[in-house]
Amino acid sequence: MSKWVYTFGDGKAEGSAAMRDLLGGKGANLAEMSTIGVPVPPGFTISTEVCTYYYTHGNAYPAGLDAAVAAAVKGIEAVIGAGFGNAENPLLVSVRSGSRASMPGMMDTVLNLGLNDRTVIGLANRSADERFAYDSYRRFIQMYSDVVLGVEHHLFEDALDDVKRDAGVTQDTELSAADLRALVDAYKKIVAEELGKPFPQSVADQLWGAIGAVFGSWMNQRAITYRRLHNIPESWGTAVTVQSMVFGNMGADCATGVAFTRDPSTGENSFYGEYLVNAQGEDVVAGIRTPQHLTVKGKTKHGSTLPAMEEVMPTLFEDLGKIRTILEAHYKDMQDMEFTIQQGKLWMLQTRNGKRTVRAAVKIAVDMVNEGVLTKEEAVLRVEPQALDQLLHPTLDPKAPRKILAKGLPASPGAASGKVVFTAEDAEAWVKDKGEKVILARAETSPEDIGGMHVAEGVLTTRGGMTSHAAVVARGMGTPCVAGAGEIRIDAKARTMRVRDVVVNEGDVVTLDGSTGEVILGEVPTIQPEMTGDFATLMGWVDEIRTLKVRTNAETPLDAETARKFGAEGIGLCRTEHMFFDPKRIVAMREMILARNEAGRRAALAKLLPFQRQDFVDLFTIMKGLPVTVRLLDPPLHEFLPNTEAEQEEVAKASGVDAATVRAVVLQLHESNPMLGHRGCRLGVTYPEIYEMQARAILEAAVQVSKATGTSVVPEIMIPLVMDKAELDMMKAVVDAVAKEVFAAAGVTLDYTVGTMIELPRAALRAGKIAESAAFFSFGTNDLTQTTLGMSRDDAGSFLEIYRRKGVVEADPFATLDQEGVGELIRIAAERGRATRPGIKLGICGEHGGDPASVAFCQSVGLDYVSCSPYRVPIARLAAAQAAVRQKQG
């Protein structure tokens, strides 16, 4: 005969963690805990095979199940010392579903089963709490009637409201035992009226009703939908776990509490937790009574006068300490445990990996390696990469009150306070002339705002997404930024901003939390980051383990130095255009754009050359021979020209042409969709002299630094927005010709490579051909996401939030790589590129390079490196190590 029922409890179990398919996650876990000596309330699990049988046999149970369940109930009674349906000492049980895969909240649960008009009295007597007993009973009737009997929920709500009104109270908790008794009567009447028969008083009937309901809930609409969305086969079925309820409120020998095996705030290896004598679990968290500390140490540390469990129940405390050791050894992680002591007997209700601060996470991971519990590989999996941010940036003091004005996107982490200003010029003036700390608030930023962004403590925008100009630049600078705070209306002319009726004037202090997106009125104290020894130790292991290199996106010496400090192994993306916005250079840049012919452009470019060369001298010197990938000019030229008439007149004056000419050029360069316009290598094909100058600046700088330092610089020159091999060939020819000249003039020859961004779907598809000429591919996933999804990152704010809310997308595709769409193109390009050129160097330089999920994807595709903004380098390093470990684990 088949075995349908698996018991657990009393230090043994018929199942184990390995039997997840048969017992469901919950049943298998309870069996495992029982086996390793954790005192879980006894119970049994009806296997998923019964579910399968049930659905293939017209909702009938297999022969013998009845007897097996009865026997298992007897087993529970024996362990717990109570009787199922026994009026004096009633055993109450919970009945829960449990599938192989977690389906949280999708199926049904019944608690407190075993209560009836007789046993409720027994429960009242044993707990000496009549109110508790009747409250449990009325909750049981309501839950059971809803889940098992199909009585509409609202009928009970109405009855509850009636009783409250009659009692003249508003809160459920204000009802007396007598009120609740009356409510039980009302509930039973509802059931009898609705069903034409009374609420079941037989506890066996109750149990079978609940078992049937749980099996039935496998096929409810919610569960079916959930399975479809998560690709869970219907054939798996659910198990049913029946477990004894235990109570911590049956006298002074009862208690309930929560405990952490280590301090979740600091990570210190000391037992930490709180408990209450003669209380229910809710009481600890509800704040009605003040919880007491588990340990004397904890009591002392927190200045509590209430006795610790260590003092009050020393033996049980010792038991709990042993379980602490067992569970940590078993789960190899800090545990967050719930326990109940019922009449002098300790029961563990739940254990799970405990939430902790990132500082604690790092310390626990490092300690556990030192304790021999974890390997280094396991340890690096224990810290959430994203959370490292908190260790790299100032954070708001969590205890300080905050008056939240609005919420935007957490666009660049860190927290900062300052006086709000509304133009980049004001920001510079206030900082330089008045020595103020400022927050720059703009509808959106443009490259002309760079100066103001540099001096600001934080940047706030009301438009744009996670990869808007403001967000990208701020992250690169390590400046906190809240982007796309759409509730805020900025009136830059009036120098105010408002959210509904709150008006913030220029000079008012605001605080930004770039890690949460909060915009806060007034100043909030911040906590400065410190990189502890444990952090350094962990990151050392991270670097041993990972196989993906981590580079940075940087174009200024400050960025490059910051990134080196954070462990960057080169520059993956140096955007040369950012170098042209400096006031000294923009004049020459505009002269180039306004030139009527090639000779005019060349004259202007000649003025830019020394600046650009010095940029690269600085970067190459800082990067000390590490690879530097330089992207040639990418944005459309109109980005370098101003939009307002006043500014255009200034430019005209500075460039020695008339204002009409400037206006005409601005008009001529105007584009409907600049993102898809005359940019990237399209500029290089049109005006090869621009790329020629840039190639010359790069190669002359490489020669100069190589000679000066004796370290060979190997520049990687990257051609952007390529869609076809022909473009790359044409631009490579320009670079190669310049290289020949530069090397001839210098009398030395350096290695350099020419490669391309893969940032258009066509480039990904044609990668096999393009790889014939490209020494490397760098996936520009920002633009590749924009084109693959047909979604402008600057405009997506208006609907992406709705998409997320309606479940069309799970994550912002500009923050986390869309693996199904963009990811497939990356896979295709990597495969085709390697087929043509087996050793082709592959990297990613979009914003996704710093996103852990995206880094894992890069590992799976076998890229050589990821590149991200300086402050995300440690995150990417950790994510890469985790990806390497997980890949090894399969």
Enumerate binding residues for a copy of itself (CB under 8 A): 671-678, 682, 685-686, 721, 723-724, 726-727, 730, 759-762, 765-766, 783, 786-792, 794-796, 798-799, 802-803, 806-809, 818, 820-822, 824-825
| Gyration radius (Cα) of the chain, Å | 34
- The reply to whether 293 belongs to the active site is no
Asked if residues 770 and 763 have their Cβ atoms less than 8 Å apart, the reply is: yes
CB of 231 to a copy of itself, least distance (A): 12
CB of 769 to a copy of itself, least distance (A): 8
Q: CA-CA distance, 356 to 360, in Å (whole number)?
A: 6
Q: CA-CA distance, 83 to 37, in Å (whole number)?
A: 24
CB of 670 to a copy of itself, least distance (A): 9
φ/ψ (deg, to 5) at 220: -75, 165
C-alpha distances (whole Å) from 296 to each of 299, 304, 340, 854 are 5, 9, 20, 46
- For residues 714, 756, 589, 661, the Cα torsion angle rounded to the nearest 10 degrees is 160
What residue type is 611 in one-letter code?
F
What residue type is 72 in one-letter code?
A
Q: CA-CA distance, 594 to 601, in Å (whole number)?
A: 8
SS3 of residue 634 by DSSP: coil
Nearest to residue 276, comparing CAs of 257, 295, 258?
257
Q: CA-CA distance, 723 to 726, in Å (whole number)?
A: 9
C-alpha distances (whole Å) from 106 to each of 110, 218, 624, 664, 848 are 13, 8, 57, 63, 33
Q: Where are the alpha helices (DSSP H) in 233-354?
A: 281-286, 296-301, 309-312, 314-331
Smaller CB separation from a copy of itself, 274 or 818: 818
Tokens for 322, please give them: 């042993």
In the chain, helix, strand, coil percent, each to 5? 50, 15, 35
Asked if residues 751 and 712 have their Cβ atoms less than 8 Å apart, the reply is: yes
CB of 673 to a copy of itself, least distance (A): 4
- The reply to whether 469 belongs to the active site is yes
CB of 790 to a copy of itself, least distance (A): 4
Interior/surface letters 615-654, b for 16+ CB within 10 angstroms, e for the rest: bbbbbbbbbeebbbbbbbbbbbbbbbbbeeeeebeebbee
Q: Which helix (H) or strand (E) holds 350?
A: strand 345-353
Catalytic pick from 469, 578, 638, 848?
A: 469
CB of 318 to a copy of itself, least distance (A): 55
Smaller CB separation from a copy of itself, 448 or 795: 795
Asked if residues 568 and 551 have their Cβ atoms less than 8 Å apart, the reply is: yes
Asked if residues 888 and 380 have their Cβ atoms less than 8 Å apart, the reply is: no
| Length in residues, the chain | 890
CB of 789 to a copy of itself, least distance (A): 5
Asked if residues 245 and 347 have their Cβ atoms less than 8 Å apart, the reply is: no
CA dihedral for 352, 356, 361, 365, sign (positive or negative): negative
Catalytic pick from 254, 845, 858, 868?
A: 845
| Residue that the structure tokens 């919970």 belong to | 94
Asked if residues 13 and 36 have their Cβ atoms less than 8 Å apart, the reply is: no
Q: Which positions are annotated as active-site residues?
A: 469, 845
